Structure 1
Amino acid sequence: MKSNEEIVREAYRLAEGNVLDGEGFRALFTEDGTFNDMPNSLTFRGDQIPQAMAGFASVFPDVHRELLGVHAFGDVVAVELRIQGTHLGGFPTPVGEIPPTGNRIDVPTADLWHLRGGRIERFDCYNAANVLLAQIGASPDFASAIEAAERAAAGE
């Protein structure tokens, strides 16, 4: 039986842009396993897991994860990494798609993998989404946020 660290390393291999095996990635999870995109408060289950992986790769087709540190503690594997790639596909947002910029991303990330019986039960990805957005040229619109807060405070 593979160690928890080996299972997690295999998950990263399957998620690389030059491999991208969504079904193989999903097969590493328990039946009720979840992939949690923590900065965006999104949870993916079942067939949504490979779809989420493919969606990210459609925006950054050369996605690579540089593993800086992998630490196994029983049924938990903690990983410090950098998500890297080139913005070559449309980036979906609630107000429309950001067209490809060709910009490179290098996003600091920490992942926690919780395993049970040799399978991934929960994958919590804590990526610096604000860094990713800044690197593709999508800075926050603070002026609009202030205006909306002022309108709300005024009861409008």
Structure 2
Amino acid sequence: MTRNEEVVREAYRLAEGNVLDGRGFRALFTEDGTFNDMPNSMTFQGDQIPQALAGLAGVFPDIHRELLAVHVFGDVVAVELRIQGTHLGAFPTPAGDIPPTGNRIDVPTADLWYLREGKIETFNCYNAANVLLAQLGATPDFASAIEATKTAATRV
């Protein structure tokens, strides 16, 4: 196992619900390292990184990442995984919080880790947010979206 793979595997271990060590996770990053939640267009740096972990663990206290495949390409580590857990905390959305449902989630995800000198410089998480929301019972309201588009088109 390469040093870069060891760093990434340690990051996953520290992010587990039964461990949850945000400070240790943050320490694996370069000083200016970033954690990018790609589906939600959110970037976390510095002290925001452990806060992001704590926020997710607050929603899914038993959060677990099932690593399916790990591929190392020099300073890039690509991981196929599934994010799993139980929805026991309020899930924040722009429209308000989704109250705990007790539903289990099992979300397909691909992560790309970019390392520099044994530290994480950039972590890009591509989780299937649509699958996560569907598993919480928050399916898209396509009818409203279509109606809003029709209304906007008639104003032009």
TM-score category of the 2 structures, normalised to the smaller one: over 0.9
Secondary structure at the residue paired with 2:97? strand
Q: Return the TM-score normalized by structure 1.
A: 0.97
Mapping of residues 117-136 of structure 1, within 5 Å: 117-136=117-136
The TM-score, its normalising length taken from structure 2, stands at 0.97
Counterpart secondary structure, 1:24: helix
- Which sections of structure 1, spanning at least 5 residues, go unmatched? none
* Secondary structure class of the residue paired with 2:16: coil
- The alignment of Structure 1 onto Structure 2 pairs a total of residues equal to 155
Which residue of structure 1 lines up, in the alignment, with residue 101 of structure 2?
A: 101
> 1:11 corresponds to which residue?
11
Q: Deviations over 1:71-121 (max 9, x none)?
A: 111000000000000000000000100000000000000000000011000
Moved over 3 A (4+): none
Calculate percent identity across the aligned residue pairs: 82
For the residue of structure 1 that corresponds to 2:80, the secondary structure is: strand
In the TM superposition, what is the alpha-carbon distance from 1:33 to its structure 2 partner?
0.5
Instruction: State the alpha-carbon separation in 2 of the partners of residues 61 and 129 from structure 1.
Output: 18
Q: Provide the residue aligned with 2:52 in structure 1.
A: 52
Amino acid at match of 1:4: N
Summarize deviations over 1:37-79 as a string: whole Å, max 9, x none. Answer: 1111111111111111100000000000000011111000000
Q: CA deviation at 1:151?
A: 1.9
Q: Note the C-alpha offset of 1:131.
A: 0.4
Alignment partners' CA distance in 2, 1:148 and 1:35: 34
Q: What residue identity is the alignment partner of 1:115? A: L
Q: Which residue of 1 aligns with 2:112?
A: 112
Q: Could you say which residue in structure 2 is the equivalent of 1:61? A: 61
